[in-house]
Structure 1
Amino acid sequence: MALYHDFLVEDREFTSYEDLKAHCRLKAPENFNFAYDIVDRYTVTEPGKRALVWCDDDGEEHTWTFEQISADSKRTAYFLASQGIKKGDAVMMILRRRYEWWWVMMALHRIGAIAVPATDQLLQKDIEYRTNAAEIKMIISYDNPAVQSEIEKALPNSPTVKKLVTVGPSREGWIDFHAEVDKCVPEFPRPVGDAAVHSEDPMLLYFTSGTSGYPKMVLHNYLYPIGHLITAKYWHGVQDNGLHLAVSETGWGKAVWGKLYGQWICGSAVFVYDMHSFKPDKMLQKIAKYGITTFCAPPTVYRYLIRQDLSKYDISSVVRFATAGEALNGEVYNKFIEQTGKKIYEGYGQTESTIICGNFLDAVVRPGSMGRPSPVYDVSVVNASGKPVPAGEVGELVIHLDKGHPFGLLSGYYRDVALTANAFDGGVYHTGDTVYMDEDGYVWFVGRKDDIIKSSGFRISPFEVESVLQQHPAVMECAVTGVPDEKRGQAVKATIVLSPGYEASEELEHELFDFVKHETALFKCPRIIEFVHELPKTISGKIRRVEIREKDAGVDVDKVKQEF
């Protein structure tokens, strides 16, 4: 039986969002540790319960039960400890979607070490910054020569890194993961005494995507996984003994949202497709073949899926589709429901949190809205003075802390007292995101505070203009930004990736200008359009509007603007 019951103060099924919001409260056992209190507990109660289903593009596939995950993670913990890893040490993992990531994560939790997942897109300077900022002691990487070469180049400037471990064929100067783990016994007793792990100890460290400036180090403690009960059960809608697929690489914070904590607490197995590159048709084939029951992906994935003939694929096993990462365009939602009859349940959160707002249970979905507040977060929309704003008015989304620190919210920014104090200033956690809340409590994303465009006295949401542009069939992706303009303060610019079959031309520019002009207020219309092959993005796939703004800082708007 799923273990989520143990973490609900009022253990029952909630009948509506209103019921959930009013009565769902979480609790935790003393010194909770996910590896011992979830994985090992299933090993006792349901040892044959399916935990992980994994496949790749080379035809390899495996299934692990909780009993097997427990044993493999204990061997891994034994190995790591033999290499000097102890409580409080930081270990970086660059493992893409390799199944060993689950072993290592659980092993680090057993030891009390700090897990630092990272993406395989990091280059030498990125690695140097991270190893020094977090004092990384060991790096575990899968056997990609390009990735491991970047790690090796970073070593001379990474003095805290003492060991390199390779998952795959041996490499000179690296420890062979499987050769060593295979020698270890599947035993690793829960630490006691000075080595004991406590609830408030550091457990997980993520470097944020960095849409502007250097990445911040987001620190979570051992209570963090409990917050993802809400993410998995009431937003993803996972089922006990189901199979959940989240399209995310393990270096991104979304991996623990959809590939680990909440799913296992709620009894669902996790499906992992270790793909070489994203291909919509292959993804749909996997959904059909393995009988995926719940699915979550960023809006970009859905934009590709709706361009497929979805009638060719049997995806009837999926009872719930969800999305997060960026605001979902209403046109994508409508086209998906036209083809499948299935809604997409949007949610919103950050690396710093679990799900903050979402379309929970069977709530009415309002396309484009990220839903209503999570039952574990007391949120409001405030102005620059910290005062709540009326329904419909734009402000910053904040989480109130006067009733205590909620499950799932970051402990702080690692080794940055000033940044932590600023984030929690005034007794609230500042998300840095601007939104408005309608009269029914639905929250609508406007943008990052830095992304808001101020033109001729108007405040313009990039997402609002992007949503209009993406209704045009020529637009695959777009980013709307402000360009310095002496007359207006800023002019609206659209940077566009075209859909297959369309070519950049002056005629298409005029067509798009005319399209937007008839769909929204004139002051929101882009005065500049640039066609590009790809948009600058963070390692987690979020559009880096700041990079576009920096590139355009010297643009002479009067020479390129469109007049209406």
Structure 2
Amino acid sequence: ALAMIIYTSGSTGKPKGVMLTHANIRIGATAVSEYLKLGEDDRLLSVLPYSFDAGLNQLTTMFWTGGSVVHQPVTMPAEVVRMARDHAVTGIAGVPPLWNMVVRYLDEVPTPLPALVRVTNTGGKIPPNILDLMPGVFPGVDIYLMYGLTEAFRSTYLPPERFAAKKGSMGQQIPYAQVFAIRPDGGVAGPGEEGELVHAGPLVSLGYWERPELTAEKIRHCPALDAVTGGKPVVWSGDLVRLDADGDMWFVSRMDDMIKTMGFRLSPTEVEDLLSQSGMVTDAVAFGIDDEARGQAVVAAVTLIDGADEAALMAHCRKTMAHYMQPARIHSWPGPMPRTASGKLDRPAVIRVARG
């Protein structure tokens, strides 16, 4: 039965109301409590808004385990760190823009957080340069990298003991979830292959409130998984992932964000990662624009750190990127890039402006 309508973040368009059942909410809380090893002694710092699934889950997991939540609606990094220290917080959940700020702050102002046991990320990929800093600013703390979508709550996680070896991976399915990658030919992707992430099982929602056509498009049958699902519909994420030899998933790109340039299929994430590794930017969004010679040309919108300039960043790109990956144009964003209500980077808004 319908228990709740919760809205998507709007990171890929207008927010949509997702219909959740009582079972979706209960099993989601159980699954996260299990793999994060949460208990009645835990105190989670609630920075993410409760109007979105990741923030709401902090409440439901603590209801389930008997732990407590420290309400912290202010995302200023110094305030987040102060609250975590003063309230002996054992867990902090965040999205990439929050970790970007908090990790940079802790790198400059080291602050002991002796009660902290775990930090978790969802809602996008953390830039590689920030991932590299995390073990140093959170010594002895378990770092969980996760992936989820509102239509099926949470899909995968990377256990903290594999963080060093698989830094940046989404890992594998969480308890009670069935997660696969489906190739363009309809088959199930294996090691070394790419495919669209699909999610089956009891976490799959009822679909979109008063949007039956969109529900039928997003939550539908997958013939290749009939033996596993019994013919029940699965959520098609629209996200392209790659499987490695161990079965761990790696995010490639939103399928409709892939850049087709000079005969190559290029993931914007690859370009953004290399831009972040330059140490010259805090935010980066790469996308393609029509180009007669290349098919599409790469454009990079970036927020430069103080003292950096476009010429130096372009020189870094020429030095570190393959020729087809190098931006044809860099758009300097004046200050922090816009966020959605859930704290994610608002890529469509950035692209609309930077496209000119």
Give the Cα–Cα distance (whole angstroms) in 2 for the partners of residues 502 and 381 of structure 1: 43
Give the Cα–Cα distance (whole angstroms) in 1 for the partners of residues 198 and 68 of structure 2: 33
Q: Is the 8 A contact 2:143 2:160 kept in 1?
A: no
Give the Cα–Cα distance (whole angstroms) in 1 for the partners of residues 311 and 34 of structure 2: 45
| 1:420 pairs with one of 200, 215, 228 | 215
Matched residue, 1:36 = none
Residue deviations 1:444-472, cap 9 Å, x none? Answer: 11121221111122111111211111112
- Distance of aligned partners of 1:397 and 1:207 in 2 relative to their CA distance in 1, 3 Å threshold: same
Matched residue, 1:464 = 270
Whether 1:502 aligns to 2:307 is: yes
Q: Is the 8 A contact 1:237 1:294 kept in 2?
A: no
Whether 1:442 aligns to 2:287 is: no
Give the Cα–Cα distance (whole angstroms) in 1 for the partners of residues 56 and 86 of structure 2: 24
Q: In the alignment, residue 32 of structure 2 is paired with which amino acid?
A: A
- Distance of aligned partners of 1:242 and 1:389 in 2 relative to their CA distance in 1, 3 Å threshold: closer
Worse-matched range after superposition: 512-521 or 484-493: 512-521
- SS of equivalent residue, structure 2 residue 152: coil
RMSD: 2.1
| 1:492 pairs with one of 298, 301, 304 | 298
Q: In the alignment, residue 158 of structure 2 is paired with which amino acid?
A: N
Whether 1:544 aligns to 2:346 is: yes
Q: Is the 8 A contact 2:180 2:199 kept in 1?
A: yes
Q: Is the 8 A contact 1:446 1:461 kept in 2?
A: yes
- Distance of aligned partners of 1:283 and 1:247 in 2 relative to their CA distance in 1, 3 Å threshold: same
- SS of equivalent residue, structure 1 residue 248: coil
- Distance of aligned partners of 1:234 and 1:425 in 2 relative to their CA distance in 1, 3 Å threshold: same
Q: Is the 8 A contact 1:291 1:318 kept in 2?
A: yes
Matched residue, 1:318 = 116
Give the Cα–Cα distance (whole angstroms) in 1 for the partners of residues 207 and 36 of structure 2: 26
| 2:238 pairs with one of 405, 427, 432 | 432
User: Structure 2: 5+ residue runs without aligned partners?
Assistant: 223-233
Structure number with higher relative contact order (C-alpha < 8 Å, ≥ 6 residues apart):
2
Report the identity percentage. 26
Q: In the alignment, residue 88 of structure 2 is paired with which amino acid?
A: G
Deviation at 1:205, TM superposition (A): 0.8
Q: In the alignment, residue 359 of structure 1 is paired with which amino acid?
A: L
Matched residue, 1:283 = 80
Residue deviations 1:137-179, cap 9 Å, x none? Answer: xxxxxxxxxxxxxxxxxxxxxxxxxxxxxxxxxxxxxxxxxxx
User: Structure 1: 5+ residue runs without aligned partners?
Assistant: 1-200, 401-405, 556-564
Task: Report matched runs for 1:26-41 at 5 Å.
Answer: none
Residue deviations 1:410-455, cap 9 Å, x none? Answer: 1111222221111122233201111111111111111212211111
Task: Report matched runs for 1:48-447 at 5 Å.
Answer: 201-258=1-58, 260-275=59-74, 278-309=75-106, 312-341=110-139, 342-360=141-159, 362-365=161-164, 366-400=166-200, 406-427=201-222, 428-447=234-253
- SS of equivalent residue, structure 2 residue 252: strand
Deviation at 1:363, TM superposition (A): 4.3
Give the Cα–Cα distance (whole angstroms) in 2 for the partners of residues 338 and 313 of structure 1: 11
- Distance of aligned partners of 1:375 and 1:548 in 2 relative to their CA distance in 1, 3 Å threshold: same
- Distance of aligned partners of 1:230 and 1:525 in 2 relative to their CA distance in 1, 3 Å threshold: farther
- SS of equivalent residue, structure 2 residue 150: coil
Q: In the alignment, residue 538 of structure 1 is paired with which amino acid?
A: T
Give the Cα–Cα distance (whole angstroms) in 2 for the partners of residues 380 and 392 of structure 1: 13
Matched residue, 2:230 = none
Residue deviations 1:322-365, cap 9 Å, x none? Answer: 11111122221111212332452110001112220102474455
Q: In the alignment, residue 540 of structure 1 is paired with which amino acid?
A: S
Q: Is the 8 A contact 1:329 1:367 kept in 2?
A: no
- Distance of aligned partners of 1:211 and 1:407 in 2 relative to their CA distance in 1, 3 Å threshold: same
Give the Cα–Cα distance (whole angstroms) in 2 for the partners of residues 303 and 371 of structure 1: 21
Deviation at 1:409, TM superposition (A): 1.9
Q: In the alignment, residue 266 of structure 1 is paired with which amino acid?
A: T
Give the Cα–Cα distance (whole angstroms) in 2 for the partners of residues 535 and 231 of structure 1: 33
Deviation at 1:263, TM superposition (A): 2.4
Q: In the alignment, residue 71 of structure 2 is paired with which amino acid?
A: V
- SS of equivalent residue, structure 1 residue 335: helix
Q: Is the 8 A contact 1:451 1:545 kept in 2?
A: no
Matched residue, 1:476 = 282
Residue deviations 1:253-288, cap 9 Å, x none? Answer: 222122x1122212221111233xx22111111111
Give the Cα–Cα distance (whole angstroms) in 2 for the partners of residues 280 and 471 of structure 1: 21
> How many pairs does the alignment contain?
341
Give the Cα–Cα distance (whole angstroms) in 1 for the partners of residues 48 and 255 of structure 2: 26
TM-score (norm 2): 0.88
Q: Is the 8 A contact 1:228 1:355 kept in 2?
A: yes
Matched residue, 1:18 = none
More strand by share: 2
- Distance of aligned partners of 1:271 and 1:552 in 2 relative to their CA distance in 1, 3 Å threshold: closer
The runs of at least 4 consecutive aligned structure 1 residues that moved more than 6 Å come to none
Q: Is the 8 A contact 1:482 1:549 kept in 2?
A: no
Residue deviations 1:96-146, cap 9 Å, x none? Answer: xxxxxxxxxxxxxxxxxxxxxxxxxxxxxxxxxxxxxxxxxxxxxxxxxxx
- Distance of aligned partners of 1:525 and 1:236 in 2 relative to their CA distance in 1, 3 Å threshold: farther
Give the Cα–Cα distance (whole angstroms) in 1 for the partners of residues 151 and 206 of structure 2: 9
TM-score (norm 1): 0.57
Q: In the alignment, residue 470 of structure 1 is paired with which amino acid?
A: S
- Distance of aligned partners of 1:354 and 1:213 in 2 relative to their CA distance in 1, 3 Å threshold: closer
Matched residue, 2:226 = none
- SS of equivalent residue, structure 2 residue 72: strand
Matched residue, 2:327 = 526
- Distance of aligned partners of 1:305 and 1:274 in 2 relative to their CA distance in 1, 3 Å threshold: closer
Give the Cα–Cα distance (whole angstroms) in 1 for the partners of residues 296 and 68 of structure 2: 49
